Structure 1
Amino acid sequence: MKKGFLIDMDGVIYHGKHPIPGAVEFINKLRREGYPFMFLTNNSQRTSRDVCYRLKTLGFEVTDEDIFTCGMATARYLATKKPHGTAFVIGEGGLLNELHQAGYSIVDENPDYVIIGEGRTILLESVDKAINMVMKGAKLIATNLDPNCPVGNGSYRAGCGAFVAMLEFATGKKAFSVGKPSPVMMRMARKALGLTTDETIMIGDTMSTDILGGGSMGFTTVLTLSGVTKEEDLVQFAYAPDFTIRSVADLLDDELFDSILKKQNEYETPEV
């Protein structure tokens, strides 16, 4: 039975500087038993190599190829729409690196695209420049629309989506987002693993990105309650995960793991 996994990171396999109990063992199980997997993150600040290094310091045996960021998805998407284009970027090194690798030039005037990514230091001067560029015709692109990001100890910082909303309100233009739950990123990651829709299992802790994106694609979805979404939150949503677990440690149970593998989510037209 061929199955593979797309796995969110923060809140699923680690919290801050600490792996979630059972997460290292779960990833080792996937590797040992030959199940392909890829980590998905809506954070565009770091390159896949940077993310890989961090995971290794937490005890995970991973490679650069196991990581897929929304910065990677954004750069690759734009390269197919306008090869060797130009962009004005509000973001950090991971996004800039991916755009350069995709053949894009970073400019301060008359860009094809204005791209908003994650950033810890965003200057109002850059925001004003971006607003004027969009008003003059540059297309507004968001690496993701997450309104906030957890930073540990119950604290949050403004996410990419918060800054995108400011630009949308100022310009009257809607941004196109490539990160989760966009099918763009989900499809790219699935294809990178060589999987079909019914062979793909999405594990995440956020209903509005991981579960919505995976479910919309027809993937089997597994919600872990070790992160953002809590059990009492589920009544707020008109959609639901296929499976809900306390943490990925539950997936070390062979019976539960096998039931997830056997789940079929192919959508078929009912007979009339």
Structure 2
Amino acid sequence: MKKYRGYLLDLDGTMYAGTRIIEGAKEFIDYLAEHNLPYLFVTNNASKTPEEVSDKLSSMGFVSTADNVVTSAMATAMYIAEEKPGASVYVIGGTGIRTALEDAGLVVKVTEDVDYVVIGLDVDITYEKYAVACLAVRNGATFISTNPDVSIPTERGFLPGNGALTSVVAVSTGIEPVYIGKPEQHIMNKAVELIGLPKEELVMIGDLYMTDIMSGINSGIDTLHVQTGVTTYEAILEEKIPPTYSVKNLLEVIDYYEGRKTYE
């Protein structure tokens, strides 16, 4: 197994599941920190700021600061700011996406007369929010969604994700959005830019094939599947394009790196 110079890591199912730390996850982050190997947590969660994401990780014992976090909200803001600096945006979503848009110099408005409509996960979604979004898209606003996740894992079970919310506007208007988060390249481009290493020196680590692993494959980055979350090893074997590696948990990676185990 190749030892990489930089690491891009998923959160849910890879680092933790709700409030439970995944076996081997904390030890692996400790290993990276001790060996001065740079790493970024790459998350489709647009409702939290990098500081809030990092605070949760730190409270669970992970070595993390806001600089270790890349969110789909950050990537969305960068995408719009590069396409149309100072653009006006109608946004459905939480603090994370609103803060990212404003920090990028974009103007958040509450009317349908805007350049862009952005949808991120909003647990306080209402019919009126949907109505304004649909009117704005029909008026010509560019339609963007932070990520396509149709469900999200919680202690209660799988709840509606941002992709499910996005589908309401897509179905109503007949217009499909530009997705920014995993498995798209937009969020990965932001992560590569921030970590400052060539793609061939990076690996994307995650549990879910259709988002985490495909984000690496779509971006030309090696992938490491961990069998600790949604996608099983048996399911991985059935995929047309397999991940570069698949491991039981991240403790195995440490064993490979330290020569205590050989990857087969």
Aligned with 1:97 (options 96, 99, 116):
99
Q: Does 1:133 align with 2:120?
A: no
- Residue 21 of structure 1, CA deviation: 2.2
Taking only the aligned residue pairs, the percentage that are identical comes to 33
What is the rounded CA distance, in whole Å, between the counterparts of 2:227 and 2:79 in structure 1? 31
**Structure 1 counterpart of 2:121, from 101, 118, 121:** 118
CA contact (8 A) 2:92 2:120 kept: yes
| Shift in Å, 1:186 | 0.6
For 1:258 and 1:185, how far apart are their aligned partners in 2? 35
Distance 1:235 1:224 in 2: 13
Q: Please give the per-residue CA displacement for 1:144-169, whole angstroms capped at 9, x wherever unaligned.
A: 0111111135x111111112122111
CA–CA distance in 1 between the matches of 2:60 and 2:233? 27
8 A Cα contact 1:13 1:248, kept in partner: no
Deviation string 1:235-266 (CA, Å, 9 cap, x unpaired) is 55322111111122222213488999x9xxxx
Matches within 5 A, 1:1-272: 3-109=5-111, 110-152=113-155, 155-255=157-257
TM-score (norm 2): 0.93
Any stretches of 5+ residues in structure 2 without a counterpart?
none
Contact 1:251 1:257 in 2 (8 A): no
Query: Contact between 1:27 and 1:60, CA under 8 Å: does it hold in 2?
Result: yes
Deviation, structure 1 residue 216: 1.8
Separation of aligned partners in 1, 2:192 and 2:259? 20
Output the TM-score relative to the length of structure 1: 0.91
Change (3 A) 1:124 1:251: same
Cα RMSD, aligned residues only: 1.9
1:26 & 1:122 partners in 2: Cα distance? 37
1:38–1:255 distance in 2 versus 1, CA, 3 Å: closer
| Pairwise CA distance, 1:2 | 6.0
The separation in 1 between residues aligned to 2:120 and 2:259, in whole angstroms, is 35
Measured at CA, do residues 159 and 248 of structure 1 come closer, stay the same or move farther in structure 2, by a change above 3 Å? Answer: same
Q: Distance in 1 between matches of 2:5 and 2:260?
A: 11
Shift, 1:43, TM fit: 0.6
SS in 1 for 2:243: coil
Contact 1:42–1:179 (CA<8 Å) still a contact in 2? Answer: yes
Structure 1 residues 139-148 or 230-239, which shifts more? 230-239
Unmatched segments (≥5 aa) in structure 1: 263-272
Asked if the contact 2:4–2:202 (Cα under 8 Å) also holds between the matched residues in 1, the reply is no
Structure 2 CA distance, aligned partners of 1:236 and 1:115?
35
Structure-1 separation of matches of 2:261 and 2:104: 40
